[in-house]
Structure 1
Amino acid sequence: MNLYQDERLPLILEELKRHQRITVEQICARFGVSRDTARRDLVKLEEQKVIIRTRGGAILPSAHQEVKGYHQRLETVSKEKKQIGEKAASFIHEGDRLILDTSTTVQALADFFPNVRCTIVTNSINLADLLSAKKHADIQLLGGKLEKKHRYLYGASVIERLRSYYVDKLFLGVVGISEHGLTIAHEEDGMVKRTMLQQAKQKIVLADHSKIGVTDYFKLADLSDIDVLITDRSPPYSFHQLLQQYGVELVITGEETEE
């Protein structure tokens, strides 16, 4: 494939966006160029500030986007999140003891919450309010310091109280899930989520496709710490392989469960 550099560069970027990283060897094989030419391509892309060069290749720079306030995020709850919420609700059964975290993806399951007797532990003000309409739901709202913008309770008192509960299932949202594990934007929220993971028999992560391959600021767990990932699109093959390696069940909305 004989292409000029200005023709190769956008194609290299496409490969990077698809796979999150690329090596010099992959560029050589893909475009039929020498290692020196591949390196020059990466230098040019680095000058344009669209990649970060690494030893032997390149990765995409992190997109440090501000996490919107809770009400802003509720206004933009996507069709994908609603589909994930509906699928997550099918995991809830009579007599379950549950922990529900504060993410809007987890809140999306409230619209589909089954009419069963269950116990819910949460630090989300909005979820507690929504689920209070469920006749058979016994709700334990964890008390602590109020994070006004994102509408959750956090702090030492929340973590201490959480450690008193042992539940059947946890439904957890994240900002990013990647080979580096589960990450979140705020450390105080991450510490609460980390404790939630310790208190549940089955850990179920809800994440739409935009969260897969993303690594944010604070790591709260490894992939090996979770049992199920519910998402709306099949992830890249390499990430799918990682999930299988760590024994994580992948559930894709509208598709059959994959082992």
Structure 2
Amino acid sequence: MYQEERLLSILDFLKKNNRISVEQICSLFNISRDTARRDLVKLEEENRIVRTRGGAILPSIHKEIKSYSNRLKTVSEEKKSIGKKAASLIYSGDRVILDASTTVQSCAENMDDMDCTIITNSINQAEILSSNSNLNIQLLGGTLEKEHRYLYGSSVVEKLSEYNVDKAFIGVVGISEKGLTIAHEEDGVVKRKMMQQAKQVIVLADNTKLGNTDFFRFADLQSIDLLITDKTPSQSFRKLLSKNNVELLTTDHTDNGDD
């Protein structure tokens, strides 16, 4: 087998198994340890792997988090359906926290004009809801994150500690066995406090977020009461939710039975 063929086979193995050792390469291709190491050096030079002690892994792929305005341009029908479902869970008299995610903004856009209190750190959410004459809006003051249009910092967290609310609607970049994750730590710290102040924590996440893990973990799965998503997740993901006592609500109206 030529080296290029081996390199392609090593990459295929990594895609399926996440990790490969020098011993496995030697066994799979009946080559010496020196040859196996040369193969790994070649792949590393081409930026196709990351060498580890005794083997290799695939390089991490991090999605760029677009600015809030750019994300709004691509708000999907899935997010809109999730937002509509979430808004249907808000009732007159409720005290509700809305975070600064675009999926939660879809919830704000679908809210009825009713007598309830909304607490948010999102400039966009406050602006959208300001046209509803019956809503009481509490905009949390702090440092403005200009690109993503949310307020953060110790003053936001301290003010949140004064509120006790019925529901908190939270968006994520990833939700997996590692918990709820987000790209920016300062955003995650605020979300964590929002969740702590709510009787019911409702996470809004389209199917692309399920199983993903991003940079900063701000909560574990046991902190969630309800997940609203657009498609019925895989059986393994549903088992993960069940294990952590998370209720599931989907907008696709499909059966939540076995795959």
Is the pair's TM-score, using the shorter chain for normalization, greater than 0.5? yes
From 232, 235, 253, the counterpart of 1:234 = 232
Of 9, 28, 38, which residue of structure 2 is paired with 1:37?
28
Letter in structure 1 aligned against 2:84: E
1:138-160 deviation line (CA, Å, top 9, x unaligned) = 10000011111110111010000
**Pairwise CA distance, 1:110:** 2.1
Distance change (3 Å), C-alpha of 1:227 and 1:220: same
Q: Which residue of 2 aligns with 1:28?
A: none
RMSD: 3.2
Give me the identity figure in percent.
56
Aligned counterparts of 2:29 and 2:223: Cα–Cα separation in 1:
38
How much does 1:194 deviate?
0.7
> Normalising by the residue count of structure 1, what TM-score does the alignment of the two structures yield?
0.80
Q: CA deviation at 1:200?
A: 0.4
Q: Which amino acid aligns with 1:169?
A: K
Between the aligned partners of 2:134 and 2:58, the Cα distance in structure 1 is: 48
Shift of 1:251: 1.2
- 1:97-144 alpha-carbon deviations (Å, 9 max, x no partner): 100000001001122112322100000001000001112211000001
- Quick check: 2:6–2:29 contact (8 Å CA) kept in 1? no
Q: What are the residue-to-residue correspondences of 1:135-214 with 2, within 5 Å?
A: 135-214=133-212
Corresponding position of 1:220? 218
> How far apart in 2 are the matches of 1:105 and 1:183?
15
How far is 1:91 from its partner? 1.1
Partner residue in 2 for 1:120: 118
From the CA coordinates, give the structure whose radius of gyration is larger. 2
Q: Give 2:71's match in structure 1, choosing from 62, 70, 73.
A: 73
1:255 CA displacement? 1.6
Gap runs ≥5 in structure 2? 21-25, 32-38
Structure 1 unaligned blocks of 5 or more: 25-34
Q: Distance in 1 between matches of 2:248 and 2:129?
A: 27
Q: What CA distance in whole angstroms lies between the structure 2 residues aligned with 1:163 and 1:175?
A: 24
